[in-house]
Amino acid sequence: LAKTTQPISMDSYEGQEVNITCSHNNIATNDYITWYQQFPSQGPRFIIQGYKTKVTNEVASLFIPADRKSSTLSLPRVSLSDTAVYYCLVGDKGYSTLTFGKGTMLLVSP
């Protein structure tokens, strides 16, 4: 599985847009990029998955440049409840295994 690198932490304020970038320089042709959110003492929650260009759903957007060596999770107008750890995972869609990196701790302040 491709290794991922994310910022350890990020700070933001309510109402702002937050962009979390993940580097995955050795991503393979069959690999997809998936983001999960985790609150303390809870299991991770799926946010979004993409392969290339841009993917958008009701909670986030995922931007993937043409070389696919990085990706950016965009959270529009964050609220206090978006304070959580965000994990970027890269692997084939079959995900024979799911390996988590260190994640990004996002703190949203009033």
Query: Which residues in this chain contact another protein in the complex, by CB under 8 A?
Result: 34, 36, 41-46, 49, 87, 93-103
Q: How far is the CB of 93 from another protein (least distance, A)?
A: 6
Q: How far is the CB of 92 from another protein (least distance, A)?
A: 8
Q: How far is the CB of 58 from another protein (least distance, A)?
A: 12
- Look up residue 18 and give its two tokens: 């937050």
Considering Cα of 30, then 65, then 26, then 37, what sign does the dihedral take? negative
Q: Which amino acid is at 52?
A: K
Residue with smaller CB distance to another protein, 40 or 110: 40
CA distance 38 to 72: 17
